[in-house]
Structure 1
Amino acid sequence: MKESIVPVSLALGSGIIMAIPNLKVNLQSKLNWDNQASPNYIVLGDDYLRYAPTVAAYALSACGLKSKHRFINRSVILALAYISSDFVVNTTKNITKEARPDNAANNSMPSQHVALAFIGATFLDHELGYISPWISVGGYVTASYVAYVRVARNAHWTNDVLMGAAVGMIMTNATYWAYDGVMKLFPKNLTIAPVIDPLQSGIYLCYKF
């Protein structure tokens, strides 16, 4: 799929950075401008902006722009993308146990913030990007800003944010592909929805004969 070209390239870039000795450290020294100890510290907004593309998708739809999927369908797709991405991100974090640049924790690889931001940007692109390419550009620019800030704040290495972006995009594209494929086979008989509670998460399937 052509949608795979960019995220696969990002994942390869992440791997190259990890493979070349000292490259990630050198990149960090160039890009990091963390100033949390400074009295002039600026809040960069990454904790909030990671959700901005998703919020924009629903807000624009509420303002009258027609999304490609109905509200319930796109909400199910988004939830499934979040669940699958969260599984991949946390599994990878537990396997790699990479220390963050600021040594705050050993769960740096990949960036959850960036994965969430790129899920939202890809979701926005799928649902409303057909109306204007600038809608898609806005989502991806916002997600890219979140990625940059995670490095600038010394919370992640460059390879972490590249891999986070790749995971977010790949899992969202895969969810659209799988969901639309299944719904074409059972357009009126099958209901698919995520099930999430404090103890577990899963998928609810209901088929009407």
Structure 2
Amino acid sequence: MISRYTVALALLLPLSLTPKLATAQVPRTTSPADTTHKFQNPSGASSTTRKPFLRSKLFRATIVPAVLIGYGISTINGNGIYSSYDARNDINRAFGPGPHTRVDDYLQFAPYFELGGVLLAGVESRNDRVNLGLVILKGEAIMLASVFTVKRLTKIERPNGGASTAFPSGHTAQAFLAASIVHTELRDKSQWYGIGAYSIATSVAVLRMVNDKHWQSDVFAGAGFGILSAHLAYLSHRNRWGRKPIGRDVSMVPMWSPAGGTGLSLTWRPK
């Protein structure tokens, strides 16, 4: 005799097995991973998220030049706690009235020679040769345009009574532009490369005052313009946003042959 409990179990058993059987019969499908945009947001953060201004690249690139240029402006002529007039009087008492030497005319390009020597020695720079050359050209263009524009606008007379093109110092701007590029390109290898380059640039600034060619305000502002030009050249360079290097192994050497005489050999081995 079949009890009523047996009939109840017989009715409930198919009901309990039905969802499991249905689940087992439906195949699971997974959508393929979207790899078309995997390099656009590698950290997974929202694209609308922005860093605070004080931590942005633009702020870090402009804060030091802004301080140097601002201090230079604050000491023009007799202004400031330690004015350009005060600095010139102290320099003349220490070294006598200038000029003393013309070495600063050549020393302003010395950081570039340091960079070239290090590269010839086999030390790899941050950028390949082509992109490094483009950064240098862009930095030079920014520096020359900004410095000579400000010279024409300010028309400050040089301390030796020369032309009214004192502010800012072009020699100092050139030296600090080159030093900033050396530091940026080689700082991953050794900080001493940048220390040497900035020491040369500082020597140029001091010599411009010792030779009575520039005021204190001129050299501080010139240093700011040089550093700012280098930073803007790097920030605006396309290689910063992931463009593949054009090639690192670019070299140019002199050559001679009995049939063709002297000439130059250009070698390019792109990677």
| Paired position in structure 1 for 2:74 | 16
**How does 1:75-94 map onto structure 2 within 5 Å?**
75-94=133-152
| Paired position in structure 1 for 2:86 | 26
Match of 1:170 among 225, 228, 253: 228
| Paired position in structure 2 for 1:197 | none
Instruction: Indicate the SS of the match to 1:65.
Output: coil
**Given residue 181 of structure 2, which amino acid in structure 1 is its aligned partner?**
F
Moved over 6 A (4+): none
Cα offsets for 1:99-156 (capped at 9, x unmatched): 0000111100000100000011000001112211111100001000000000011000
2:212 aligned with 1:154: yes
**Given residue 88 of structure 1, which amino acid in structure 2 is its aligned partner?**
S
Structure 1 residue 22: Cα displacement: 8.4
Instruction: Indicate the SS of the match to 1:20.
Output: coil
| Paired position in structure 2 for 1:124 | 182
**How does 1:187-198 map onto structure 2 within 5 Å?**
187=243
Residue pair 2:97, 2:212 contacting (<8 A) in 1 also: no
Change (3 A) 1:65 1:96: same
| Paired position in structure 1 for 2:29 | none
Match of 1:113 among 171, 195, 208: 171
Structure 1 residue 36: Cα displacement: 5.1
* TM-score, reference length from structure 1: 0.81
2:125 aligned with 1:67: yes
2:113 aligned with 1:58: no
Residue pair 1:34, 1:154 contacting (<8 A) in 2 also: no
State the distance in 2 between where 1:189 and 1:127 align: 15
Q: Structure 1: which 5+ runs fail to align?
A: 191-209
Structure with higher RCO (Cα < 8 A, 6+ apart): 1
Structure 1 residue 188: Cα displacement: 5.3
Which structure shows the bigger proportion of residues in helix conformation? 1
State the distance in 2 between where 1:36 and 1:184 align: 44
* Larger displacement relative to structure 2 (133-142 or 14-23): 14-23
State the distance in 1 between where 2:215 and 2:240 align: 41
Residue pair 2:159, 2:212 contacting (<8 A) in 1 also: yes
Instruction: Indicate the SS of the match to 2:71.
Output: helix
**Given residue 210 of structure 2, which amino acid in structure 1 is its aligned partner?**
A
Residue pair 1:14, 1:160 contacting (<8 A) in 2 also: yes
Percent of matched pairs sharing the same residue: 26
Residue pair 1:34, 1:153 contacting (<8 A) in 2 also: no
RMSD over aligned CA atoms reads 2.2
**Given residue 139 of structure 2, which amino acid in structure 1 is its aligned partner?**
A
Change (3 A) 1:21 1:127: closer
* TM-score, reference length from structure 2: 0.63
Match of 2:202 among 137, 141, 144: 144
Match of 1:183 among 233, 236, 239: 239
**Given residue 147 of structure 1, which amino acid in structure 2 is its aligned partner?**
A
What is the count of residue pairs matched by the alignment?
A: 184
**Given residue 17 of structure 1, which amino acid in structure 2 is its aligned partner?**
T
Change (3 A) 1:22 1:188: closer
Change (3 A) 1:142 1:111: same
2:186 aligned with 1:96: no
